[in-house]
């Protein structure tokens, strides 16, 4: 329905003495099915269970789901699984905290000042093209193979998404708001608090979700390097003994951590950006 047709329909209703009814958009997002995200994994789990029960899958190649579950319960009762989870979560949390702080600070400097943009943007854009895995040999030479190297690798993985998205959000702020702030004679801090940060918030939250994903990916890699604890160490040790059930258990927990963190960030995004009217709403 064109805008002219809409105006004619409203005029016809008004002339007939009927109150004009709001026109509903034709293109709207369909309602999500309840628990739709669990349908795909549920089907895979069912196929895996059937293939294991009918012996189509060799248990030495891929352990059965109930074997993985029983192994997880044994490791949980012994306390080993909690210790590995705590170590992995601590590494990821510390690296994320550093990456979010550095990425946000660099984005504010580069997005709001010309000097910061000249000094920082080129280098950080270049880093985006270099995967973290390629930097690990250099980081090992500089920092050794201890915890510092692992945390720095995770922090580098989290910094770039935060910087890229927040910097883009700051650059995309409507120039009319900047002119209004100048007309009202807002100070630099007032402009940042009232205009820049709210305007860049949607992009920052998207960068935060990407940063969490990058942190978990980096964690998987660094925990394979001279680690003595963590989910990656548990999986590496199981690989040496051919324990596929423990490897699968580690993969499950990596996936659960990633999905849980993303779901939490989606909830936070809906709360902070409840004022937006978008297709998903």
The domain that holds 78 is classified in CATH as 1.10.3720.10
Residue 37 is assigned to a structural domain of this protein: no
pLDDT tens-digit profile of 149-189? 999 999 999 999 999 999 999 888 877 877 888 888 888 78
pLDDT of the residue at 95: 95
Per residue in 84-141, pLDDT tens?
999 999 999 999 999 999 999 999 999 888 898 999 988 898 888 888 888 999 999 9
Residue 267 located in a structural domain: yes
Supply the mean pLDDT for the chain.
84
In a domain? residue 278: no
Above pLDDT 90, what percent of the chain?
41
Model pLDDT, residue 196 = 84
Alpha carbon of residue 92 to chain centroid: 13
**pLDDT at position 205:** 93
Query: Any alpha helices (H) in 79-146, and if so which ranges?
Result: 80-112, 114-116, 122-128, 132-143
- How does residue 25 score in pLDDT terms, banded at 50, 70 and 90? low
Q: What six digits make up the tokens of 93?
A: 């949390």
Report if pTM > 0.85.
no
On whether residue 261 sits in a domain, the answer given is: yes
Range of the domain at 146: 64-272
Residue the block writes with tokens 């030479």? 141
Q: Which of 14-23, 133-142, 261-270 has the lowest mean pLDDT?
A: 14-23
In-domain check, residue 235: yes
Tokens of 86: 């705590």
pLDDT at 2: 47
115 assigned to some structural domain:
yes
Q: Cα(213)–Cα(211) distance, rounded to whole angstroms? A: 5
- Residue 5 domain flag: no
**How do residues 186-230 score in pLDDT, each as one tens digit?**
887 888 888 888 888 999 999 999 999 999 999 988 988 888 889
Closest CA to 162 of 211, 197, 122: 211
Total count of domains within the chain: 1
Rounded CA-CA distance 89/230 in Å is 9
Residue 54 resides in a domain: no
Q: In which band, very low, low, confident or very high, does the pLDDT at 58 lie, cut at 50, 70 and 90? A: confident
């Amino acid at each position: 329905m064109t805008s002219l047709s809409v105006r004619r329909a409203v005029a016809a209703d008004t002339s007939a003495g009927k109150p004009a009814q709001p026109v509903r958009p034709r293109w709207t997002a369909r309602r999500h099915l309840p628990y739709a995200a669990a349908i795909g994994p549920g089907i895979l789990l069912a196929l895996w269970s059937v293939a294991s029960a009918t012996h189509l899958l060799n248990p030495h190649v891929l352990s059965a789901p109930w074997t993985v579950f029983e192994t997880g319960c044994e490791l949980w009762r012994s306390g080993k699984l909690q210790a590995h989870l705590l170590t992995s979560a601590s590494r990821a949390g510390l690296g994320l905290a550093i990456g979010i702080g550095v990425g946000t600070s660099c984005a504010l400097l580069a997005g709001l000042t010309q000097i910061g943009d000249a000094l920082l943007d080129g280098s950080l854009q270049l880093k985006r093209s270099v995967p973290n895995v390629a930097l690990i040999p250099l980081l090992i030479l500089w920092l050794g193979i201890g915890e510092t190297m692992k945390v720095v690798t995770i922090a580098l993985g989290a910094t770039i998404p935060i910087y890229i998205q927040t910097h883009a959000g700051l650059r995309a702020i409507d120039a009319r708001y900047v002119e209004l702030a100048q007309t009202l004679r807002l100070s630099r801090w007032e402009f940042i608090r009232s205009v820049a940060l709210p305007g860049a918030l949607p992009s920052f939250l998207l960068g935060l979700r990407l940063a969490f994903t990058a942190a978990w990916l980096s964690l998987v890699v660094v925990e394979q390097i001279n680690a003595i604890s963590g989910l990656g160490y548990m999986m590496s040790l199981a690989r040496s003994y051919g324990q596929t059930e423990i490897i699968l258990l580690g993969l499950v927990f990596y996936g659960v951590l990633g999905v849980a963190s993303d779901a939490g960030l989606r909830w936070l995004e809906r709360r902070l950006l409840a004022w937006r009217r978008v297709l998903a709403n």
